[in-house]
Amino acid sequence: MEDLRVNTKVLRIDPENIDMDLVREAAAAIRAGGIVAFPTETVYGLGADTYNPEAVKKVFIAKRRPMDNPLIVHIHSLNQLYEVAVKIPPEAEKLARRFWPGPMTLLLWKSDKVPPEVTAGRPTVAVRMPAHPVALAFIRESGVPIAAPSANLAGRPSPTTGEHVVRDLYGRADVIIDSGETVYGVESTIVDMTRDPPVLLRPGGLPVEEIERELGKEVVIPQFARGLGQADVALAPGMKYRHYAPFKRLTIVEGDYSDLKAYAAKVAEVVKQEIAKGARPIILCSSETAQYYEQQGLRHLVLGPRSNIFIVARNLFKTFRAIDEMLDVDEAFMEGFEERGLGLAVMNRARKASGFSIIRV
């Protein structure tokens, strides 16, 4: 794939006091066929005009992203939903009206307006309406839906701050909007609404349990949505390829979390075996087990409390990036978490980031 080098302009926009002149500057770059990194409530996205195939190709080139990995179309209103999707089932409209703007993406049948470059040639399109004031203003001012994956180099941890985007994409995106840290820290939940019952393609910021409650029925959860193996075909982002990975080796240590002291002792034993081999590991752990590792003299970083998995999800990607900055660490071992609520998204990302390197104790 060819490479892309451009002069990047960084625009710092306060989400609580939006400078509309700067938003219009970013939107003008979209209308001129450029690509713009912008904040959402989940992670930062790298966007192009959905209806401009040449601009969409630039997104893949800038990210070094495989062309068979489709993008998500970001909209600012339900009117735009009817532009990009057809044969929308009533259940999908129900979810859209309940959870948008928000961290939920729906896979629907695409309209003829959406070029094949956006959907990797498939007849379906992934659509969402982000819950971030800068994102909504940017899409509205652009005058078109914005096709965007996360604003990182392919395979790297998704960016949750403007600084992350600058590190990955400076010189590769025309404009980077920096609006500080995102809220959720993991991408949106993707649900395939072209099938009945609906199928979870990627867990994310909206727990699947909430979607099931709204629909009044179960959503099918395939093994790949748990981060256990890859899908054969990428119907939506995050399904097929290794994603979210730090450069350094990452291993997930899963077990019985009902007795955290016993579980932590098993994690510690795994790590001590690595130290005995000359490795320099660090443990990514929960608040509840941090004191045990401290007592054992084992290096660790706290992701957050098991009692508030939202914090763990928010800290996940920035912690993956942090271990890459540690010169005296060459690998990481991460505790597992229960697959409830946002815990399913955390485990999906962690397993994929590890390249499915999982130890069960």
Residues that constitute the known binding site: 42, 65, 69, 74, 124, 128, 148, 150, 158, 188, 202, 244
Euclidean distance between CA atoms 204 and 237, whole angstroms: 12
Q: Are strands 104-110 and 281-286 parallel, antiparallel or unpaired?
A: unpaired
Residues annotated within a binding site for L-threonine = 42, 74, 128, 148, 188
Is the Cα dihedral 178, 182, 186, 191 positive or negative?
negative
Residue labelled with tokens 């992203």: 65
8 Å CB contact between 310 and 183? no
Euclidean distance between CA atoms 316 and 179, whole angstroms: 19
Count the Cβ atoms, other than its own, within 10 Å of residue 344.
Answer: 25
Euclidean distance between CA atoms 358 and 354, whole angstroms: 8
Residues annotated within a binding site for ATP = 65, 69, 124, 150, 158, 202, 244
8 Å CB contact between 203 and 254? no
